Structure 1
């Protein structure tokens, strides 16, 4: 199958590693986001023995109807019994959801984004101890006239293996609120756009994706430190975690 390259992301970033969920600024860890969910996630490449990686996204977010801004907490967890090797997390936006910033992460240039996406950031996670997690404050905008999705692949530091991938999973509402100050969106929900004729947009619910990282389990793969590759390939049988 064909692959689409992502060039190397230069520069080293210093991030703090915690044995518990990292505290986030209020703008990105708002109380109304609800508990985290692994909805739309699947294992791709087999993780090292004793390492079990997952990601979490909030069950709900809120989009400001004036600025179109929203905040999302993205969490990577090691639910296994052993420390992981060095990891990285990619945060990628699709369609109406555009990722504008992720604290402690580097932007992926527009020309290097995977097909179908509009934004992306590369986050160095480092090692995760057994039972620990690390969270990132994600700033984004959401064009409510469109559907919108986000994708969280977890890779080894060299990018050769993708151990876990959540998404592309949609945030959306079937009850748009154009005249309200904000519109609440739910994870795993197809968005019903505010604009007339929006019902003609492709639906993007979990299990209907046809994008490179959809239900077929195609992985984000890199070949060495020299570059990142976005590739489609068949993984081992997926096992869902909710």
Structure 2
């Protein structure tokens, strides 16, 4: 083969590889977790208010995470928001909120919710604004959290309009936990939709707060979700995304 032919073949090969690389970059939305995104479950999720035509937001959580028995840090906790509709979402917001023994410490790329703006009963939270989520696409956020194995723990993922006035979808508050605590092991596996049974001192058969699969905390019908317009506006002014709901307690 002549040197000219070899040069042309190398040029064609390089061009093909460059085209493939560009095409791959265009397929994945910026910041999204791709191949290593774990499979998730939308258990405990419910449509709250009608989203714009063709837009169907949904969230998922991993079915299993672990907690380090020494540090209390969780591993494998990922919050994923998807648009299973046929049209782009436009600006929306995902919130990640912790309850009871589950405390959200950080969600990279998201804004902490001020303590005085947290929903009733929650202990921590972050808002994650998205400029757009294309039809059929999803974006995952790695959640740094701690879990107090002496308590039950829940997490909630609402998806809102950018101004925080409308909640399109809400998953939870849904529990993570185990019915077989293992305080002497390095880590304890926690399962989604399982009420945690705290470890008790040797010989003490009491103290548990759940047995087996716990009843999923009700996401509630749309009329029980009260939008906080003022809170949404305050968070928007602070550079975050609006918060979604005040839970009405039943007595």
In the alignment, the residues of structure 2 paired with residue 200 and residue 61 of structure 1 have an alpha-carbon distance, to the nearest angstrom, of 20
Higher relative contact order at CA 8 Å, sep ≥6: structure 1 or structure 2? 1
Match 2:152 to one of 119, 142, 147? 147
Match 1:134 to one of 130, 135, 139? 139
Match 1:57 to one of 35, 55, 61? 61
Deviations 1:137-159 (A, max 9, x none): 10000000110000000001011
What is the match of residue 115 of structure 1?
120
Provide TM-score, normalisation by structure 2: 0.74
What is the match of residue 198 of structure 1?
207
Offset, 1:171: 0.5
Please list every run of 5 or more consecutive structure 1 residues that lacks an aligned counterpart in the other structure: 1-16, 234-242
Counterparts in 2 of 1:200 and 1:231: CA distance versus 1, 3 Å: closer
Offset, 1:19: 3.8
**Is 1:163 paired with 2:168?**
yes
The answer to whether the Cα contact below 8 Å between 1:169 and 1:206 also exists between their aligned partners in 2 is: no
Offset, 1:199: 1.8
Offset, 1:205: 3.2
The answer to whether the Cα contact below 8 Å between 2:120 and 2:247 also exists between their aligned partners in 1 is: no
In the alignment, the residues of structure 2 paired with residue 102 and residue 42 of structure 1 have an alpha-carbon distance, to the nearest angstrom, of 23
In the alignment, the residues of structure 1 paired with residue 212 and residue 117 of structure 2 have an alpha-carbon distance, to the nearest angstrom, of 26
Offset, 1:116: 0.8
**How well do the aligned residues superpose, as a CA RMSD in angstroms?**
2.7
- Find the residue that maps to 1:37 and give its secondary structure: coil
Offset, 1:223: 1.8
What is the match of residue 8 of structure 1?
none
Q: Which structure has more helix as a fraction of its residues? A: 2
The answer to whether the Cα contact below 8 Å between 2:172 and 2:217 also exists between their aligned partners in 1 is: no
In the alignment, the residues of structure 2 paired with residue 90 and residue 82 of structure 1 have an alpha-carbon distance, to the nearest angstrom, of 22
Please list every run of 5 or more consecutive structure 2 residues that lacks an aligned counterpart in the other structure: 1-26, 235-241
Counterparts in 2 of 1:142 and 1:37: CA distance versus 1, 3 Å: same
In the alignment, the residues of structure 1 paired with residue 214 and residue 31 of structure 2 have an alpha-carbon distance, to the nearest angstrom, of 28
In the alignment, the residues of structure 2 paired with residue 202 and residue 223 of structure 1 have an alpha-carbon distance, to the nearest angstrom, of 39
What is the match of residue 47 of structure 2?
43
What is the match of residue 17 of structure 2?
none
The answer to whether the Cα contact below 8 Å between 2:197 and 2:211 also exists between their aligned partners in 1 is: no
The answer to whether the Cα contact below 8 Å between 2:150 and 2:198 also exists between their aligned partners in 1 is: yes
Aligned length: 207
